[in-house]
């Protein structure tokens, strides 16, 4: 079984790479899937749900089904959200504080 600190550190690193824009979707999902299988952590569950929205920005198509560039504001919001989730894990925020912080992003 993975040690909680190792689990937390891996999650923080992954979320920071999203926030920095240094991870590809292809590299992100295998690690996110591993994290979500390893522990029933509410922050990981929230991150998993939000990741679908974040990465979905890169798959949008227009009315002619032509792929479009993601809106910079949506990408920035997603990166800020993952930065906040990384901080929440590092500082061991209670679940209520995490949800309150995410609500204001």
Q: What is the pLDDT of residues 75-103, one digit of tens each?
A: 999 999 999 999 999 999 999 999 999 99
Share of the chain above pLDDT 90, in %: 76
Residue 4 pLDDT level (bands cut at 50, 70, 90) = low
Please state the domain count of the chain. Answer: 1
Contact status, residue 18 vs residue 24, Cβ threshold 8 Å: no
* E strand or H helix at 80: helix 72-91
- Quote the domain boundaries for residue 12: 4-103
d(Cα 62, Cα 74) in Å, to the nearest integer? 16
β-bridge mates for residue 61, sequence order: 67
* Distances in whole angstroms, Cα of residue 52 to Cα of each of 3, 61, 104: 27, 16, 19
- Res 3 pLDDT > 60: no
Taking residues 19-36, report their average pLDDT: 96
Q: Helix 4-20 crosses helix 42-56 at what angle (to 10 degrees)? A: 20
């Amino acid at each position: 079984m993975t040690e909680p600190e190792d689990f937390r550190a891996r999650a923080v690193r992954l979320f920071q790479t999203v926030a920095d824009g240094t991870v590809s979707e292809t590299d992100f999902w295998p690690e996110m899937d591993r994290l979500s299988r390893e522990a029933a952590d509410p922050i990981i569950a929230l991150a998993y749900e939000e990741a679908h929205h974040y990465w979905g920005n890169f798959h949008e198509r227009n009315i002619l089904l032509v792929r479009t560039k993601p809106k910079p504001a949506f990408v920035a919001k997603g990166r800020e959200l993952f930065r906040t989730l990384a901080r929440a894990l590092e500082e061991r925020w209670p679940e209520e504080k995490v949800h309150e912080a995410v609500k204001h992003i």
